[in-house]
Amino acid sequence: MSREYTLQRAPHATAINIDYAAELNEQQLAAVTAAPGPLLVIAGAGSGKTRTLTYRVAYLLENGIDPRNILLLTFTNKAARQMLDRVANLLPVDASGLWGGTFHSIGNRMLRRHGSALGYSSGFTIMDREDQKDLIDTVVAAAGINPREIRFPKGDVLAEIFSFVINTETPIDALLAEKFPYFLPLLEQITDVHARYEKKKKNTNSMDFDDLLEKTLRMLKEHEHIADFYRRQFQFILVDEYQDTNKIQADFIDTLAAEHRNVMVVGDDAQSIYSWRGANFKNILAFPERYPDAQVFKIELNYRSVPEILQVANAAIAANVKQFRKELAATRPSNAFKPAVVGLNDGSEQARFVAQRILELRDEGIELDEIAVLYRAHYHAIELQLELSRRGIPYLITSGVRFFEQAHVKDVTSFVRFVANPRDEVAFKRMVKLLPGIGNKSADNHWRAWENGLNERGEITSWGERLLAMPVGAKSKKSWEQLAHTLDEIAPGGQANPPSEMITSIVEAIYDDYAKANFTNYELRREDLNQLAAFARQFKDVNEFLSQLALISNIDAEPALDQSTDTEAVNLSSVHQAKGLEYHTVFVIWLTDGMFPSTRSLETRDAIEEERRLFYVAITRARDELYLTFPHMRLSGGFGDIFQRPSRFLKEIPTQLVEDWQIRRQ
């Protein structure tokens, strides 16, 4: 005989004194106090998205929901902690039982509890990317593949491929065809390595970062009792930045919410800009289709920007067909300064304009760290970095290392350095280690053989004659011959060709194959190298070119520019890296078709729409002043000066919303 016993909820000491109507605007209030069920909150840029989520958590707690029954999913653990800290400041409630964190951290907690269902013990190891690369390299070697004999993708490239397969739920063959077509001939070997890698992880009780999602979802789908356990626990699910979720993350949410369907997702479809790393724009767009009874709320009051900037932002995104239409409205008063559209002759003049205007703003009392220059791709800032360095204007690169310090740029310039100075040991070793079968030891041996054969002046009449006379291993022989031929081509008789021609030849003859096998973002790096060749067209003499590169690097290396110091500095950033940030003044540069939007995006409507969303993100980083610049001409590595059309995005903005600046030249 059994007896039913009802366990009451533990009483919570809540203040129940939050005046939500006073703390929130009407749009935020409607979302925060909505009835249970599927909720989609479209929160425009600068509209208080975090505030809305925080008050929703507080509202649930005030209404008696146990913290243990709430799951808060964010894209950083820091974001989750900040929201929970704010909730704690609003309510005297112990919310420690609430699960909050990234998708991966939540998956990790679930797998530690129930991973035995998949054959993993609770003490499984989580590999970082370096561990993952090493394990994949071990598997490749065990499969009998010698990456030095064929240009087989390196461990970190394979890790990237496998990651895309998991996060986008795309078969390997389709993924390669879409993102890595140059590896399609190796499909059979890559598929075999993937299978071996999965087996190896299981045998070593190890998981990589993507397994924390993939294995968790598989566990929920294959073991219904585990799924039921978590569905009962998480009665309310809240998701931040939903527009950035990928396929597997959306499936994870839907699986947990399958019964109660109390899921609130918050995001801005107009700021969905990460498809290149697996984010699926369809998740937020199709939410009302997956949840037909979903309530949709729009939060359109912007607390960041002046009305003039928001009018341009609204116009910039209007042409997108696939979107939840909204109209950002300003809470700030007008500053009577329209965003400026500025046409310049070329990239160098654009750089001079930006630098001059930055100095003027500084004189007007605007701190340098309140100024940002945003661009579509890292190489767009080459001329600007040079100009800022010349004028002594400190700057920080928030989108990665400085252009000339990037590995692929230094790799290619090592060839140029070597032909300019055949006694440059560092350049020689960097250059030859790019070839298959050559490591540190053999590079050192080759250098001694090369150095011993040099005359006192270090003069060269035939690179091929010298190099081909040196003994090399069988694995390196073919590539060594290619190196000899390439050096003879770029510096015949020891006389260097113009630097731009040299760079183009080096990339096409040697470096392109290396880059494909070694870099996950090969296409972006190839764009960088094309732009390096274009930049080098300014210099006819190789030594002048190398001197300028050295001067820029040395100026950039000054302690005053170190990000750990308190020194004021202008922010240079890709738009992707600037998302979520804001500045008093923003310059968006290289607004020409083929640059922003990028050439690759011109092929499909979906790609153009994502580029337009990226433009929208750039505009909405500005609080007070906005400058949109475009050069009429740009240098090309091999085709002379190229005429540039102003970006189609500029043409979509009504002329009355912007001010056309005409440049007078002295």
Q: Just list the catalytic residues.
A: 49-50, 240-241, 271, 621
Residue 123 φ/ψ, nearest 5 degrees: -95, 25
E runs forming strands in 511-621? 570-574, 583-588
Report which DSSP code applies to 654. Answer: -
Q: Is the separation of the CB atoms in 100 and 72 below 8 Å? A: yes
State whether residue 467 is helix, strand or coil: helix
Q: What distance in Å separates the CA atoms of residue 123 and residue 568, rounded to the nearest whole number?
A: 46
Q: Helix crossing, 382-391 with 542-556: angle to 10°? A: 70
Q: First and final CA of the chain: distance in angstroms?
A: 99
Q: What distance in Å separates the CA atoms of residue 538 and residue 532, rounded to the nearest whole number?
A: 11
Q: What distance in Å separates the CA atoms of residue 167 and residue 172, rounded to the nearest whole number?
A: 12
Q: What distance in Å separates the CA atoms of residue 654 and residue 660, rounded to the nearest whole number?
A: 12
Burial of residue 285 (number of CB atoms within 10 Å: 0-12, 13-18, 19+) = middle
State whether residue 129 is helix, strand or coil: helix
Q: Is the separation of the CB atoms in 58 and 309 below 8 Å? A: no
Q: Is the separation of the CB atoms in 203 and 119 below 8 Å? A: no
Q: What distance in Å separates the CA atoms of residue 91 and residue 196, rounded to the nearest whole number?
A: 51
> What DSSP string describes 139-187?
HHHHTT--TTTS-PPPHHHHHHHHHHHHHHT--HHHHHHHH-GGGGGGH
Q: What distance in Å separates the CA atoms of residue 654 and residue 314, rounded to the nearest whole number?
A: 11
State whether residue 48 is helix, strand or coil: coil
Q: Is 661 left (phi over 0), alpha (psi -120 to 50) or beta?
A: beta
> What DSSP string describes 567-597?
---EEEEEHHHHTT--EEEEEE---BTBBTT
The number of residues in the chain equals: 666
